[in-house]
Structure 1
Amino acid sequence: MSTSSLSTRQKAFRLALAGVIPLLLVVLFLWAGGWLAPQRLSADKLVTVLQQSGGKHAGFRRNHAKGLCVIGDFVSNGNASSLSKAEVFAQGQIPVIGRFAIAGGNPHAPDYAVPVRSMALSFQQGNGEQWRTGMNAMPFFPVASVEAFYALQTATLPDPATGKPDAKKLQAFVAAHPEIKAFFGWAKQYVPSSSWASDRYNSLNAFELIDRDGHQQLVRWSMVPHTDYAPLSNADKQDSDFLQHDLTQRLAQAPLEWDLIITLAQPGDASNDASKAWPADRKTINAGTLILKQAEAQQQGACNDINYDPLILPAGIAASDDPILNARSSAYAKSYNARTREQAQQAGEAP
């Protein structure tokens, strides 16, 4: 074979490879989005079922639609710096933009009608990296997988004929996903608090802390309030926005504080199943104090343009192998793109 013939073939191979690689990337993108396998769960399906449950409200998040922006600081005591090289854990103070919300896609739902509440935070490190986390005021996730969460949303959709969920569908779901019985047990005895300020918010999913030598420690974290718990009262139920009014009034008087408590896993603790609580005797570390100082309406506030994607992590914090994390990230992105586009359209229509 001549040198010129070999050179021609090499050029042809390189050209073919240059065409195959972009095609392969496109195929992977389509697969990740669920387009090549209709039966595979995608972010579109998750967002659609959430909209079916809470209704479509242009310009709002598809879940945890009703909320309030908050601004403050995180003061680290340095206790977690040996576990993670993330700047957020070094002794010092960094700014935080957060958001309190209630679960569901209806931004007009009465606060007292939704027992599950959330706290989302964005920590702005001095090196330009951010740590974003979304936490919920419940001890564990209802189900173990993304598919089960989708099935739960579908099973609890109101029947058009009655306006209520079909009891048979829910019974069939529980039979197929018995892990949810633990969540039902918790929910049955749970009494919501009278304030976002007194709720404890938990990461639910597990993450890895990475130190400067590359050692990893599986953890979950919680924001534990300094404010004493008081149960939801009949007086609270007279105000459909009592959580927002209460928090705004409290912050007008003084800052509100939570301790960041990190729970360290031991061998055998689930890294990929947020429906399983870790034993209560696990070692914990108080990593510092969140100090919130100001509240703002969400549509005009600093939190409006923040996507609290749980996979936006600084060096020193990494995702675990929990598949729900990737699903949350994808659904959050889909919701963010939709609502910001809708808000831009609304602004363009305004006189």
Structure 2
Amino acid sequence: MLGGVFAYVAGWFPRATYGAQPRAQWIVDAFEATTRPHPGFRRNHAKGICVTGHFDSNGNGAALSTASVFEAGTYPVIGRFSAPGSNPSQADAESSVRSFALLFSLPGDEQWRTGMNSAPIFAVGTPQAVFEQLSARALDATGHQNPAHMAAFLRKHPEAQAFDAWVAAHPPSSAFFNAAYFSVDAFRFVDHERRAQYVRWRVVPETPYQQLGEDAEGDPDFLAHGLVKRLEQGPLRWRLMISVAKPGDPVDDATRQWPAQRDRDSIDAGTLVIDRAQSQIDGPCRDINFDPLILPQGIEASNDPLLAARSSAYAVSFARRTKEEARFSAARN
């Protein structure tokens, strides 16, 4: 799976499936326009912290997928907690969403990479809408956003109201480690009989959710600081829960939630354990592109157009920041 996934880097998302779309380079340019330049950093989720640990699979997921990660056993993981946004200096209190990316190392040199958010849906469902949303947030000549541009975007994209409503009803967590994280996009799981089912997954923390309080405002980096301090007491754990779609559930639209019953019927596939945190500057997650289309056999992409867009844009961002890092290294030497 590793080889073909980066075919999207060339530029356009596949026309046959998604119609005319903005180039991945344009989307990354639009991310850059939302803040001043920050060379060497990711164009989105610029501020983060690396983590490592393992996944203890209990074998339950094997009923849904042939992926080796669901066979009973223990698999190493490298992860990264972050908040959305292109500014690595942004204060943590400014973000209403937490993000968690993971790379599972599997037998046969396979990998499963996933990027999850603490909200179960995206604001928009197409690459074009992503581009328009970012363009509405671009800084003008004075270094500020123009509220009229965002108001015009929201009038054109009423589907974004569902995301805003969810965020308003679910205050951000006080820490990285007491939030649940959702795959948002749907994927296809293929079992040993070659039967395919659409799924979404989430990781549910062992630590009870706690709402962000005013006491965090004094520390602009309280999310990373709190994670490091908590890990001094011992590992953190989440349960990997898999929800299976039923007929009529949207499997190609990340702006729409599935009925709550899907989560109540979800399958517990095992325990994610995080036991160490490292700086993103030189930690193990620094050089990882958490491309959601790097998948093991038994897990396939759905037709959700955001998956191709994310894969392509992540690759462009990765190429830019690694090129910048190489220039910095050459200049120092």
TM over 0.5: same fold? yes
Q: Relative to structure 2, which stretch is displaced further, 185-194 or 286-295?
A: 185-194
Q: CA deviation at 1:188?
A: 2.4
Which structure has the larger Rg over C-alpha atoms? 1
Residue aligning to 1:206:
186
Label 1:63 to 1:123 Cα distance change in 2 as closer, same or farther (>3 A): same
Label 1:238 to 1:178 Cα distance change in 2 as closer, same or farther (>3 A): same
2:199 maps to amino acid: V
Q: Does 1:182 align with 2:162?
A: yes
Label 1:303 to 1:269 Cα distance change in 2 as closer, same or farther (>3 A): same
Residue aligning to 2:328:
346
In the aligned structure 2, how far is the partner of 1:292 from the partner of 1:255? 6
Q: Relative to structure 2, which stretch is displaced further, 68-77 or 189-198?
A: 189-198
Q: Does 1:95 align with 2:87?
A: no
Answer yes or no: is the 8 Å Cα contact 1:310–1:329 preserved in 2.
Answer: yes
Q: CA deviation at 1:151?
A: 0.8
269, 272, 275: which one pairs with 2:249? 269
Q: How does 1:107-256 map to 2 (within 5 A)?
A: 107-161=88-142, 163-167=144-148, 169-256=149-236
Q: TM-score, normalised by structure 1?
A: 0.87
Residue aligning to 1:319:
301
In the aligned structure 1, how far is the partner of 2:268 from the partner of 2:225? 30
Residue aligning to 2:272:
290
Residue aligning to 1:105:
86
Structure 1 unaligned regions, length at least 5:
1-25
Secondary structure of 1:175's counterpart equals helix
**Shift >3 Å, 4+ stretches:** 28-34, 158-162
In the aligned structure 2, how far is the partner of 1:157 from the partner of 1:228? 37
Q: How many residues align?
A: 320
Coordinate RMSD, CA, aligned: 1.8
Q: CA deviation at 1:159?
A: 3.8
Q: CA deviation at 1:162?
A: 7.6
Q: TM-score, normalised by structure 2?
A: 0.92
In the aligned structure 2, how far is the partner of 1:307 from the partner of 1:85? 24
Residue aligning to 1:329:
311
Q: CA deviation at 1:31?
A: 5.3
In the aligned structure 2, how far is the partner of 1:292 from the partner of 1:101? 15
Label 1:309 to 1:31 Cα distance change in 2 as closer, same or farther (>3 A): closer
Answer yes or no: is the 8 Å Cα contact 1:69–1:298 preserved in 2.
Answer: yes
Label 1:29 to 1:160 Cα distance change in 2 as closer, same or farther (>3 A): closer
Residue aligning to 2:4:
none
In the aligned structure 1, how far is the partner of 2:68 from the partner of 2:203? 18
Of the two structures, which has the highest relative contact order with CA contacts closer than 8 Å and spacing of 6 or more? 2
Answer yes or no: is the 8 Å Cα contact 1:159–1:166 preserved in 2.
Answer: no
Aligned-residue identity in percent: 45
Q: CA deviation at 1:90?
A: 0.4
Q: How does 1:43-122 map to 2 (within 5 A)?
A: 43-122=24-103
2:231 maps to amino acid: L
In the aligned structure 1, how far is the partner of 2:28 from the partner of 2:132? 13
Q: CA deviation at 1:64?
A: 0.1
Q: CA deviation at 1:190?
A: 2.9
